[in-house]
Amino acid sequence: MADADPAPGTDPPPSPGSAEPPPAARLLAVLAIVVAGLCGGLIGYAVTDLNCEDGCPAASAGVGVVSAVGAAVGVAVVSVLALRAMGEWNATPPGARQRRR
């Protein structure tokens, strides 16, 4: 059964907007996660390497990997929350935002 056409002079009901964030925002989020992982890994490796008297390459590498994963996960959580908020903001019709105030 086909949907009935709206009566003349009336507007069709608004379609829901997409809550998907823009591609540029998603790319920036991925780049931020990668940069945070690299920085966390380098900081973890450097701090462990400087504090170990014998060099300790295995310990430095292990702490570097754990630091990289921790930093990347932390930035990923913040990125996901920011992208979800951005998507919901873009999907909300302007009239709905004004009515809530």
Domain segments of the chain as ranges: 30-89
Q: Tens digits of per-residue pLDDT, 14-63?
A: 555 567 888 899 999 999 999 999 999 999 999 999 998 887 899 999 99
Residue 75 confidence (pLDDT) above 60: yes
- Alpha-carbon gap, residue 46 to 55, rounded angstroms: 11
CB-neighbour burial class of residue 21 (10 A; exposed 0-12, middle 13-18, buried 19+): buried
pTM for the full predicted model? 0.73
CB 68 within 8 A of CB 41: yes
Is residue 79 exposed (0-12), middle (13-18) or buried (19+ Cβ within 10 Å)?
buried
Residue linked to tokens 């908020």: 85
Say which residues have a Cβ less than 8 Å from residue 93's Cβ, sequence separation at least 6: 14, 17
